[in-house]
Structure 1
Amino acid sequence: MKKFKYIFLFISIILLNSCNDKEITVLEKTNFNENWFFTNSENLDDNNYLQTVNFSDWDSITLPHTPKIEPKIVNNQWQGISWYAKTFLLSDEMKNKKLFLNFEGAMNIAEVWINNKKLIKHQGGYLPFTVDFTDDAIFDKENTIHVKLNNKDNPITGPKPLKTLDFNTYGGIYRNVWLVAKNKLYITEPILENKIANGGIFVTFPEVSNEKAVINIKTHIKNETGKTASLLIRNTLIDNGKEVISVNTKNYDLDSKSNQQIATNLNVQQPKLWSPKSPNLYDLKTEIIQNGQIIDSEITRIGIKTMKFVGQDFYLNGEKTFLRGINRHQEYPYVGYALSDNANYRDAKKIKDAGFDYVRLSHYPQSTSFMNACDALGLVTIDAILGWQYFSEDKDFQNHVFKTARDLIRRDRNHASVIAWEVSLNESWMPEPFIDKLTKIAKEEYPTDQCFTAGWQSYGYDIYLQARQHRLKHYDADLKKPYNVSEYGDWEYYAMNAGLNQDDWSGLLQQERSSRQLRSAGERALLQQATNIQEAHNDNLNTPAFADGYWVMYDYNRGYADDLEASGIMDVFRIPKPAYYFYQSQRDAKDPFGKPMVYIANNWRKNSSLNIRIFSNCEEVELFLNGESLGRKKPTINTVSNNLNHPPFTFELPKYVAGKLEAKGFLNDKIVANYTVNSPEKASKIKIEFDLSGREIDENNNDLIFVYANIMDENETLITDVVDKIKFELTGNAQLIGENPVNIEAGIATILLKTNKNTQNIEIKAKTIDANLASSSKIK
């Protein structure tokens, strides 16, 4: 039998130093990701699995988890039945407490048994669900949990069948699970409570200015103590560890087996407002006080902001704002959706670093860790329910959609990053009564003037998500409501029909005109992608759209196709293409998240274009070849750059001369940035890099890190035409995931490193198969 550990739940002792509160034990949520068992099988019925006490034939795994490690290009994604199980002990301190298990995401139909008793069947893989197992917990021996998952096509949960779907949905318990223990007078969980605009903690901002903000906090309390409880609620606003203001409510008497939502206001002077340039966040501590004791306590991360539309213009905190954005799918190669929290943060960090202030969450609710990262980094989000080219008249389907709209808002309503709710089935024609119901739900669940709905049909929604790639004329001058160019830059350069019928491939343009270019496609193809993006983004700025979103940030799998969808400005391994730097150049150098930058988009070799394109946010750029100046220029203004914040620079060279191209960027006549490209020489070494993107390896949980083996010459120039493979070797308590040996693509071979809380002193070795090149590097 494989070795496993019992889970012991630790008790946090909170010593309170205000209001003469007494010391009390408060039981907090505990990460429940470790020591699970897993199997894929459809040969046994439920009773056989539930009677399993010997898991020797099951895999020992840690969450997040995917049921199958997929190839880089996924043609036949695994679908079927999988089982997860875990044994755990509960301490005596847990007796007489409320006990919950919170699943952040499990694909797609989840059934949960505790100690062989079925407690829940949950439909849908993108939103959380909570299991109350208070009455079924055992304290004198092991508890056992079984989870059965079914990720086959489902007509109720949608979207359309995987074989024709334009993205993959993968499987597994692919997000965190938490064990939560509370006293029986407690703050509830909003999705479990299933009350309109209620449950848990709900924070709104009825008044916001630079001088003053009013924070309205609604706290839903439930009393299951068996007797009337006298209590008050204390809310404390904390800024970087310092108390800003603390307010107690009056005393309330709450009868046994009853619940109540209690509202209070905090008046904050000179608040720090949240915006993409200044993503200021506060911690709001909400406590139930009874007889001077803290009975329950929760921390909510909030950002104070106010939004409004004037005509078609968007105002954030009173300032007219344009949001340059991107769309994102949440998949990683090989592991599908089973990302670590840090991996989600790194994805968000790359989006911010690329020059974006907005991300459309396509086309489903994404992880809480990604939402948290958007809050912290200042990435505005449009938060979406699941939907893509699938609608059914079936009432069960429609009711499920309505439920997901409510659950999405209940989960994410306190996130500072959310500006609108995409309660719309993307690219799925919906009848008007159906739209009316969805928009009504949003207004019910977020009943303030800060609730905006968004949808891809113009009817009914506050914001029209008008995708230019779905029509030849993407801008309707008669449209008077706010609109967002939700997708652009891909499909309109890919298919002649420029419509929604993606099953008809008869009108495809030539490959060299497409924005779908792998990073290995070469200089000409990657510059064409950048040209398409520049032209489309520049044209968007001719319209009164308040935001636009390029399709897409990262290359991704479509399942039905035998290749990657390659319109990403970074590839599937999160390596940038030249278009990444075009967007980065559109952020002002003086922006709090910007800096002076210059980037030469060309390679410099015999077959390189002599038309040198440079992306920069500087006022002028000077180009040098082998130390000799080729001139100093201002940006090139033409019909595809006249609306840009920072048009590219172009230099036309008479001939190729091997050596060093160097671009220097000037602001106020001073050199503030430079970038160098060297003609490649003979490959002579491997440089190993680890993609941490602002987050060190998580020492307490599983983590996922891309490892890059770069083939370099002696000048540290990437050699992009090497045809070879890299064999990776690992020393230490971790795991390599992916093809190994792996093909070198445009000079880089990539593999995933999965670490855990016991990971230390990791060493990666990389060696070419054919050439005699090798290297090693330590990460921890």
Structure 2
Amino acid sequence: MSKQNILVIICISFLFLSCKENKTSVVVDKIKFNNNWAFKRIENQNVDSLFFEKKIDTKNWDAVQLPHTTKVEPKIVNNQWQGISWYRKNFKLTNEMKNKKLFFKFEGAMNIAEVWVNEKKLIKHQGGYLPFMIDFTEVADFENENTIAVKLNNEDNPVTGPKPLKTLDFNTYGGIYRNVWLIAKNPLHITDPIYANKKASGGIFVSYPEVSEELAKIKIQTHVKNEDLGKNSFIIKNTLLKNDVEVISFESKEQILNSNQEQEFVNNLTIDNPELWSPNSPSLYLLKTEIIQDGKTVDKEITRIGIKTVKFIDQDLYLNGKKTFLRGVNRHQEYPYIGYALSDNANYRDAKKIKEAGFDYVRLSHYPQSNSFMDACDELGLVTIDAILGWQYFSKDKEFQEHVFQASKNLIRRDRNHASVLAWEVSLNESWMPESFIDKLTKIAHEEYPGDQCFTAGWQSYGYDIYLQARQHRLQHYDSTLTKPYNVSEYGDWEYYAMNAGLNQDDWSGLLQEERSSRQLRSAGEKALLQQVKNIQEAHNDNLKTPAFADGYWVMYDYNRGYSNDLESSGIMDIFRVPKPSYYFYQSQRNYNDPFGKPVLYIANNWQENSPLEVTIFSNCDEVELFLNGKSLGRQKPDSNRVSDKLNHPPFTFSIAKFEKGTLEAKGYFDNEIIISDKRETPGKASTIKIKIDNDYQNLKNEDTDVFFVHAYVTDDNGILVADSTDKILFKVDGKAEIIGKESVIAEAGIASILVKTSDIKNVTIEANFHN
């Protein structure tokens, strides 16, 4: 069959979990404020326009929805846009909001944000990664339309850091790239932890003074403020729920607050036989905290919590009393074209892919990531090390240091109730910090999270509870006398890129940089991608010989760098989240009968004429048998060599004498029974397109806007992927959707990918055709 333009139409259907945050109640309104914004990017930076004035006509501005990026960038970003941009929105307030306290909460806006409501400037906020909140009660208009205006500046900034974009190893992008909320509360209300700005207080703070499999004591701190004209009496009720069933509840005695008084109240709950949170069993509870006055609830907060206890004995991690090793990865929050402007669902998909790859831990490099990603880590059982912004930049300037101190406080106040957080990386990554500065950061962390469940982490060995050291640094100057808990924070990339791997230099002497590097695009070819796996295998195996309680590969997804004209391609998935062979190596390291495990068997070979005759197979089976055109080539146990002696499941390597067109088939055995198989068939000519939508998820929100990937697989007449295809594919979408970036895409290793944004994902039609 000759190559034809094949029309593939797919109607997308998603399963939804209702988003309770979108619902309003008589107690408190928390309304997602993402729709119907007007946006203008200022190209002439010398013009200081007064775009906060209500009379401004925005008919020539762009109509946008949040999350939003200031500029849709090319796939490879070498000159990311920086400058001034404006967002405006007109809105009306309901009568039900009269006599309420009115707030706007921004989850993230890059980087310096100035906000006006009805022409009144209410804040200038520094820093693009943490939330900020404004009270606009005094300027609210219930008779007329209101206007909110936001001026953003994402230029390099010496106060917020990190170093200038032209020398930065990642991009910072721009825009109101996370959610905005309109919040209406009664004058007597539970505060917001960041807005309250109280040490170890504000909002709801849940901690666990005692935890075992038999009993858990839960300490609940509730910070309440009375902004009524007179004093108020009330009680605080805490109800713990599991799967919507009440576990236990407690009502405080009557409390009294005078006008404009605020106070923290502490209640305690004790539960028998708690379900503890861990990577293998990420059990979560809902804590409902109510302020009840005269028998009526006047404020309510729902906090999702997980009960766990962490202890280090010598250098080993004990989670809920069990010695635990955390196999992990680093993640940048970037998508192609839209930078940081990910939907909540997109963040969930990223977390889900990390868990499915075989990881139980994520280092959140090198900045605070989104609420929705943190929520997903809680839900999926991904332990996190939560980081402030920092990368190769330190300043003696007092304003910079005070900003870092406040960012550390705000990070902990935002994320302290997340079950997934193991430690606080209140450290400026790869930035040499004086000991007095480290002392201040670690003191802040332990003050903000008192007790024995607070652990700080930093890349300098001094001061921090946990030492984070990249493998390339360890190979150069490892301190064998170190006794504190140790985490290999990064490995597998730089030491091979810079050729200081340190373990087997003789084998590297004849290799060019592109041949030895872990930075391999998915289109680099089988040999290069297998080199990436070899690097990862050697480095991970070496990490397991150290006293580390965790390691984190660099990196999960390919990403852009501010200073470079190419992608940083050490990801085990590309920037469109398509797996490389390394993905399956990690997937095979999880036992198949573990709670999140499954049988894994992956032939890392395309079986074409130029494919390696040494066939690598990743599997968590006991044995693997390989067949070529139905003839057995032998049944083997996993490899046993220098780079596999500590692995949970080493690869299997089969040597084939010569190439023979046809079918390679592998069968995996466990206890002498075949439990899984995989095969590769030599493809014919490219003739057909198969579309795959990245939508195989059960717990997505019904968002107003979403972004997701669509992949077109170039196959032959028999549906076999043509892995060396570089055909050009033309995509088209119909419905309430648009393609972000180019519609015509060249296939990489047989797969062409696009990013789709939609406001109604229930009925979207997608076409993919060969494009000459």
- State whether TM-score is above 0.5: yes
CA contact (8 A) 2:77 2:560 kept: yes
Q: Which whole-Å CA distance do the structure 2 matches of 1:358 and 1:12 have between them?
A: 35
Task: Name 1:17's counterpart in structure 2.
Answer: none
Alignment partner of 1:464: what SS?
Answer: strand
Contact 1:623 1:631 in 2 (8 A): yes
Q: For the Cα contact (< 8 Å) 1:485–1:547, is it kept in 2?
A: yes
Report the Cα distance in structure 2 between the residues aligned to 1:126 and 1:244, rounded to whole angstroms: 36
Partner of 1:606: 609
Pair 1:294–1:456, CA change in 2 (3 A) = same
**Aligned counterpart in structure 1 of residue 407 of structure 2, from 404, 409, 412:** 404
Deviation (angstroms), 1:742: 1.2
Deviation at 1:26, TM superposition (A): 1.1
Superposed displacement of residue 722, structure 1: 2.0
Residues 571-586 of structure 1 aligned to structure 2 (within 5 Å): 571-586=574-589
Task: Write the deviation string for residues 567-620 of structure 1: whole angstroms up to 9, x where unpaired.
Answer: 000000000000000000000011111111110011201111111111000001
**1:53 Cα offset (Å):** 3.1
Q: Distance in 1 between matches of 2:421 and 2:429?
A: 18
Query: Which of 333, 344, 349 in structure 1 is aligned with 2:347?
Result: 344
Which ranges of structure 1 fall in alignment gaps of 5 or more residues?
1-8, 14-24, 500-506, 771-780
Using the alignment, how far apart are the partners of 2:98 and 2:255 within structure 1?
26
C-alpha displacement at 1:508, in angstroms? Answer: 11
Report the equivalent of 2:218. 215
Query: SS of the counterpart of 2:363?
Result: strand
2:295 is the alignment partner of 1:270: no
> Is the Cα contact below 8 Å between 2:606 and 2:723 reproduced in 1?
no
Q: Does the CA-based 8 Å contact 1:280-1:303 persist in structure 2? A: yes
2:52/2:148 contact within 8 Å kept: no
Structure 1 range deviating more: 379-388 or 555-564: 555-564
In the alignment, is residue 422 of structure 1 matched against residue 425 of structure 2?
Answer: yes
Is the CA contact (8 Å cut-off) linking 1:687 and 1:710 kept in structure 2? yes
1:493 and 1:509 in contact (8 A); partners too: no
For the residues of structure 2 that align with 1:559 and 1:452, how far apart are their CA atoms?
32
Aligned to 2:662: 659
Question: Are the counterparts in 2 of residues 11 and 27 from structure 1 also a CA contact under 8 Å?
Answer: no
Gaps of 5+ in 2: 1-20, 503-509
- 2:408 touches 2:445 (CA, 8 Å); kept in 1? yes
Aligned partners of 1:662 and 1:677 also within 8 Å: yes
Which whole-Å CA distance do the structure 1 matches of 2:640 and 2:345 have between them? 41
Asked whether the 8 Å contact 2:86–2:149 carries over to 1, the reply is yes
2:67 counterpart (64, 69, 74): 64
The alpha-carbon deviation at position 631 of structure 1 amounts to 1.1
User: Which aligned pairs between 1:562-577 and structure 2 lie closer than 5 A?
Assistant: 562-577=565-580
1:677 aligned counterpart, secondary structure: strand
CA displacement at 1:718 relative to structure 2: 1.2
Separation (CA, whole Å) in 2 of partners of 1:657 and 1:724: 26
Q: For 2:55 and 2:768, locate their aligned partners in 1 and report how far apart those are by CA, in whole Å.
A: 42
Counterpart contact for 1:342–1:695, Cα < 8 Å: no
Q: Deviations over 1:330-389 (max 9, x none)?
A: 000000000000000000000000000000000000000000000000000000000000
Q: How many residues align?
A: 743
CA distance in 2, matches of 1:59, 1:494: 42
One-letter amino acid matched to 2:286: D
Q: CA RMSD in A?
A: 1.5
Cα 1:190–1:688 shift into 2, 3 Å = same
2:523 aligned counterpart, secondary structure: helix
Name the CA distance, whole Å, in 2 between partners of 1:475 and 1:659. 50
Looking at structure 1, the residues matched to 118 and 317 of structure 2 have their Cα atoms a distance apart, in angstroms, of 53
**Alpha-carbon distance, 1:94 to partner:** 0.7
Alpha carbons of structure 1 residues 167 and 385: separation in structure 2 relative to 1, 3 Å: same
Instruction: Give 2:301's aligned residue.
Output: 298
Q: Does 1:359 align with 2:370?
A: no
CA separation in 2, counterparts of 1:597 and 1:37?
Answer: 49
Aligned to 2:32: 31
Which residue, out of 734, 738, 744, partners 2:741?
738
Q: Separation in 2 of the partners of 1:242 and 1:48?
A: 50
Q: Which digits, 9 at most, give the CA deviation of each residue in 1:80-116, with x for residues without a partner?
A: 0000000000011111100000000000000000000
Asked if structure 2 preserves the Cα contact closer than 8 Å seen for 1:470 and 1:498, the reply is: no
CA distance in structure 2 between the partners assigned to 1:691 and 1:439 by the alignment: 41
Task: Give % identity.
Answer: 68
CA-CA distance at 1:475 after TM superposition: 4.0
Task: Note closer, same or farther for the CA distance 1:126–1:569 as it changes in structure 2 (3 Å cut).
Answer: same
1:102 maps to a residue whose letter is: K
User: For 1:521, what is the secondary structure of its paired residue?
Assistant: coil
Letter in 2 for 1:602: N
Aligned to 2:764: 762
- Return the alpha-carbon distance in structure 2 between the equivalents of residues 472 and 481 of structure 1: 18
Query: What secondary structure is seen at the aligned counterpart in 1 of 2:74?
Result: coil
Distance 2:311 2:153 in 1: 42
- Name the CA distance, whole Å, in 2 between partners of 1:537 and 1:572: 23
Equivalent residues in 2 for 1:447-486 (5 A)? 447-473=450-476, 475-486=478-489
Residue 766 of structure 1 deviates from its aligned partner by: 0.8
Q: CA-to-partner distance for each residue in 1:703-744, whole Å, 9 max, x for gaps?
A: 111011110113322112223211111111111111221111
Residues 555, 693 of structure 1: alpha-carbon distance in 2 compared, 3 angstrom cutoff: farther
Q: Distance in 2 between matches of 1:90 and 1:48?
A: 22
Tell me which residue corresponds to 1:16: none
What are the Cα deviations for residues 671-702 of structure 1, in whole angstroms up to 9, with x where unaligned? 11111111111112000111124257654321
Question: Could you say what secondary structure the match of 2:568 adopts?
Answer: coil
1:444 alignment partner, SS class: helix
Q: Which amino acid aligns with 1:106?
A: A
TM-score, normalization by structure 2: 0.95
Give the aligned residue type for 2:746: N
Deviation at 1:427, TM superposition (A): 0.2
Measure the CA separation in 1 of the matches of 2:420 and 2:659. 48
Partner in structure 1 of residue 556 of structure 2: 553
2:498 matched residue in structure 1: 495
Shift of 1:254: 1.0
* Corresponding position: 1:392 with 2:395: yes
CA shift, 1:46, in A, is 3.9
* Counterpart check, 1:152 vs 2:159: no
Contact 1:274 1:303 in 2 (8 A): yes
Q: Return the letter of the residue paired with 1:750.
A: S
Cα contact 2:290–2:300 (8 A) shared by 1: yes
1:747 counterpart = 2:750: yes
CA distance in 1, matches of 2:477, 2:214: 41
Q: Within 2, Cα distance between the matches of 1:280 and 1:475?
A: 38
Which residue is equivalent to 2:232?
229
- What is the match of residue 20 of structure 1? none
C-alpha separation in 1, matches of 2:142 and 2:755: 40
Query: What secondary structure is seen at the aligned counterpart in 2 of 1:618?
Result: coil
1:26-82 C-alpha deviation (Å, 9 max, x unpaired) = 122001000000001136424255254321110000000001000000010000000
Q: Counterparts of 1:136-147 in structure 2 under 5 Å?
A: 136-147=139-150
Mapped to 2, the partners of 1:629 and 1:431 lie a distance apart of 63
Report the secondary structure of 1:592's partner residue: coil
Matched with 2:634 is 631
Indicate conservation of the 8 Å contact 2:51/2:149, yes or no: no
Matched, 1:79 2:56: no
Question: In the alignment, is the contact (CA less than 8 A) between 1:495 and 1:509 conserved in 2?
Answer: no
Task: Please point out which of 160, 178, 182 is paired with 1:179.
Answer: 182
Aligned mates of 2:607, 2:473 — CA distance in 1: 37
> For the residues of structure 2 that align with 1:140 and 1:497, how far apart are their CA atoms?
68
8 Å Cα contact 1:350-1:693 kept in structure 2: no
Counterpart-to-counterpart distance in 1, 2:447 and 2:424? 13
* 1:260 and 2:267 aligned: no
2:439 is equivalent to residue 431 of structure 1: no
Tell me the amino acid that sits aligned with residue 771 of structure 2.
I
In structure 1, what is the Cα distance between the partners aligned to 2:610 and 2:458?
A: 46
CA distance in 1, matches of 2:153, 2:443: 31
Residues 357 and 378 in structure 1, CA contact (< 8 A), matched pair in contact too:
yes
Whether 1:671 and 2:702 are equivalent positions in the alignment is no
- Residue 525 of structure 2 is aligned to residue 522 of structure 1: yes
Match of 1:127 in 2: 130
